[in-house]
Structure 1
Amino acid sequence: MNIVAFIISLGLFVLGLYVMGSAFYVEGAEFLVFLGGILLSSLGVFIPIHVLKRIDG
């Protein structure tokens, strides 16, 4: 379970970085795309810190 959660978390974090970087190329919705990238990266960090701590404990 830890390996699957790690891969999902890493994927969400990297996807969030990619979305934040591509926000500069979106016309008119830069803020929303950048905010989505921040939320994806935050979710990628949230899973191993908060969720896996309770599952593995």
Structure 2
Amino acid sequence: MTATARKIAVLFDNAMRFGMRYVDPGADHYEQRYRERVIKQLHRRAAEFGFALQPAQGVS
């Protein structure tokens, strides 16, 4: 909760000081970042066990 409050405070401070506008990147942006993070963690865990992940054919 503290990290979120700080992030909001920094965004507000920058908007007031520099006249910046906040543009919400949208839920799709956050979903894509989450997916990338999960895939990266899976690759790292597989490597710890001596495996290498391969993308499935025909699946994006």
- Do Structure 1 and Structure 2 share a fold, with TM-score over 0.5? no
Higher relative contact order (CA 8 A, sep 6+): 1
Q: Normalising to structure 2: TM-score of the pair?
A: 0.38
Larger Rg: 2
Higher helix share goes to which structure? 1
